[in-house]
């Protein structure tokens, strides 16, 4: 089957394209991007039988987005999310590839769990799923998991995510060992002793709310350690969900010195809102690392703009409604982010932090490069992962309408100026009003 997406403004940094073009898809692959000039030549092919035409006038056409940091919760926590609901939510958010974190039950620390996830994704998933394996067995930080067997089974990166590897020697070994696979170790940087018991950013607000604070330094201490270990080992380090200005500075300086192979991501909530969102104990604003100060938000934006931060990922962390309803201290951390990520990130373009191409780089091209998949591009021959974005109207975030089971978002009721109106994923066209 042939699909032609006509007259949209196509943004594809992998080919340096930013202009009104027709995107031609054939048999699930990108066929070509036809600019105004070349259009005349190939006319006559169009409107032939079996061709679906989609009018994208006034809209943006991006390669499908690639999300490096997602919690799909299956197996084990299906009451929070499943591979079916999580991937449906992704597609609605314009995301066509998700990398899922290993903190399931059982933990994805062996190839059978990896295989289960991929099998489930193949039968129920609305988009491609790329599992991230655990660095250590049971995420316990004690023994290396069978990284190369899991890599063979389909893991594209390794991380102990929310339970960072405390033991520096173990982290050193993991970084050294991972070199045989040329895959990144994704580090959730948190000094667990320094953050112990904390539930929000440490500052005046945490003191006056009577909530235990997590200082920025709990993240920065570990960012510094992991950069040092990456320098020592030559391993590939990807720093997850950067939330503080201090972390941005550490990463910037390490990149400038060229001492190590480092990439970094942040999430929409770290450049969209501050600790103030906790308000009067709104557990939907409880997330780890916590929402930081206004200064940190500005530093994150500068980091995105100058290339210090390579990637925007969601850290989609769905939870059941009941878990977020009650004592703030007891609520689990996390924000359901798949369906607001694009809209929130597009604000960076409105604010002049990123160009459209820059945005697509952070949300599709770079993440693909980091995990070594041939996606995030509209190059001829690539998988036809495409998203059409409407940025002309206004749309209200309504958590009740999320396809994700997790309705936990501090952005409920926000008005955003952009959203995905059509996503092509796994050969299927998904359209919304």
Partner 1 sequence: MGLKSKDLVGIKALDAADIEQILDTAAGFKDVLGRDIKKVPALRGKTTVNLFYEPSTRTRTSFELAAKRLSTDVINFSVSTSSVVKGESLRDTALTIQALGADFIVVRHSCSGVAHFLADNLASSVLNAGDGTNEHPTQALLDLFTIREKKGVIRGLEVAIVGDILHSRVAKSNIYALKKMGAGVRLIGPPTLVPDVLKDLDVEIYSDMEKGLKDADIVMMLRIQVERQGKGFFPTTVEYFRNWGLTPERLARAKKSALVMHPGPMNRGVEIASDVADGMRSVILDQVTNGLAVRMAVLYLLAGVKE
Q: How far is the CB of 29 from partner 1 (least distance, A)?
A: 51
Q: Which of 50, 256, 280, 433 binds partner 1 (CB under 8 A)?
A: 280
Q: How far is the CB of 311 from partner 1 (least distance, A)?
A: 32
Measure the CA–CA gap between 349 and 42, rounded to whole angstroms.
Answer: 34
Q: How far is the CB of 301 from partner 1 (least distance, A)?
A: 24
Measure the CA–CA gap between 276 and 278, rounded to whole angstroms.
Answer: 5
Using rule CB under 8 A, residue 192 touches partner 1: no
Measure the CA–CA gap between 267 and 241, rounded to whole angstroms.
Answer: 6
Using rule CB under 8 A, residue 1 touches partner 1: no
Q: Which of 209, 224, 232, 403 binds partner 1 (CB under 8 A)?
A: 209
The single residue listed with the structure tokens 């300086």 is: 253
For partner 1, how many residues bind (rule: CB under 8 A)? 16
Return the half-sphere exposure (C-beta side, CA atoms, 13 A cut-off) of residue 272. Answer: 26
Task: Mark the segment that binds partner 1 (CB under 8 A) among 118-126, 208-216, 240-248, 408-416.
Answer: 208-216
Task: Mark the segment that binds partner 1 (CB under 8 A) among 109-117, 233-241, 324-332, 340-348.
Answer: 324-332
Q: Which of 19, 204, 392, 428 binds partner 1 (CB under 8 A)?
A: 204
Q: How far is the CB of 328 from partner 1 (least distance, A)?
A: 5
Check: CB of residue 431 under 8 Å from CB of residue 421.
yes
Q: Which of 44, 50, 197, 210 binds partner 1 (CB under 8 A)?
A: 210
Q: How far is CA 105 from CA 8, 75, 110, 279, in A?
A: 43, 6, 12, 33
Residues forming beta bridges with residue 9, ordered by sequence position: 20, 60
- Tokens in use for 3? 């699909």
Contacts 24+ apart (CB under 8 A), 75-78: 75/104, 75/105, 75/106, 75/113, 75/116, 75/117, 76/104, 76/105, 76/106, 77/104, 77/105
Total residue length of the chain: 433
Measure the CA–CA gap between 155 and 109, rounded to whole angstroms.
Answer: 10
Q: Which of 167, 306, 307, 330 binds partner 1 (CB under 8 A)?
A: 330
Coil, helix or strand at residue 373 = coil
Using rule CB under 8 A, residue 327 touches partner 1: yes
Measure the CA–CA gap between 165 and 172, rounded to whole angstroms.
Answer: 10
Catalytic residues: 315
Using rule CB under 8 A, residue 392 touches partner 1: no
Task: Mark the segment that binds partner 1 (CB under 8 A) among 203-211, 228-236, 378-386, 411-419.
Answer: 203-211
Using rule CB under 8 A, residue 322 touches partner 1: yes
Using rule CB under 8 A, residue 211 touches partner 1: yes
Binding site for partner 1 (CB under 8 A): 203-204, 207-211, 280-281, 322, 325-330
């Amino acid at each position: 089957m042939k699909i032609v997406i006509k007259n949209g403004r196509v943004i594809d940094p992998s080919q340096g394209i930013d202009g009104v073009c027709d995107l031609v898809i054939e048999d699930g692959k990108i066929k070509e991007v036809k600019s105004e000039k070349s259009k005349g030549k190939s006319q006559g092919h169009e409107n032939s039988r079996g061709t679906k035409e989609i009018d994208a006038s006034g809209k943006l056409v991006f390669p499908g987005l690639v999300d490096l940091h997602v919690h799909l919760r299956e197996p084990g926590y299906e009451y929070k999310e499943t591979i079916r609901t999580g991937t449906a939510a992704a597609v609605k958010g314009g995301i066509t590839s998700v990398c899922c974190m290993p903190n399931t039950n059982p933990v994805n620390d062996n190839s059978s769990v990896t295989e289960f996830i991929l099998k489930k994704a193949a039968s129920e998933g609305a988009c491609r799923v790329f599992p991230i394996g655990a660095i250590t067995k049971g995420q316990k930080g004690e023994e290396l998991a069978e990284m190369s067997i899991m890599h063979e089974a389909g893991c594209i990166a390794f991380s102990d995510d929310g339970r960072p590897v405390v033991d520096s020697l173990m982290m050193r070994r993991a970084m050294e060992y991972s070199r045989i696979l040329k895959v990144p170790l994704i580090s959730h940087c948190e000094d667990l002793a320094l953050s112990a018991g904390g539930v929000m950013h440490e500052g005046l607000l945490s003191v006056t709310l009577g909530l235990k604070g997590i200082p920025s330094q709990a993240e920065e201490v570990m960012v510094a350690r992991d950069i040092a270990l990456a320098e020592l080992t030559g391993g590939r380090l990807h720093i997850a969900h950067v939330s503080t200005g201090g972390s941005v500075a550490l990463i910037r300086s390490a990149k400038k010195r060229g001492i190590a192979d480092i990439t970094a991501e942040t999430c929409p909530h770290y450049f969209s809102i501050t600790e103030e969102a906790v308000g009067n104990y709104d557990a939907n604003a409880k997330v780890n690392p916590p929402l930081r100060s206004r200064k940190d938000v500005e530093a994150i934006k500068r980091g995105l703009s100058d290339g210090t931060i390579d990637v925007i990922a969601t850290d989609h962390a769905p939870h059941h409604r009941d878990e977020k309803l009650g004592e703030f201290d007891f609520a689990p951390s996390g924000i359901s982010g798949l369906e607001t990520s694009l809209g929130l990130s597009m604000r960076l373009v409105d604010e002049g932090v990123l160009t459209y191409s820059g945005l697509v780089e952070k949300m599709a091209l770079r993440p693909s490069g980091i995990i070594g998949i041939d996606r995030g591009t509209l190059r001829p021959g690539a998988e036809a992962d495409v998203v059409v974005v409407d940025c002309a109207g206004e749309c209200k975030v309504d958590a009740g309408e999320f396809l994700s089971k997790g309705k936990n978002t501090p952005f409920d009721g926000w008005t955003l100026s952009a959203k995905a109106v059509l996503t092509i994923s796994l050969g299927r066209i998904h359209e919304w009003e």
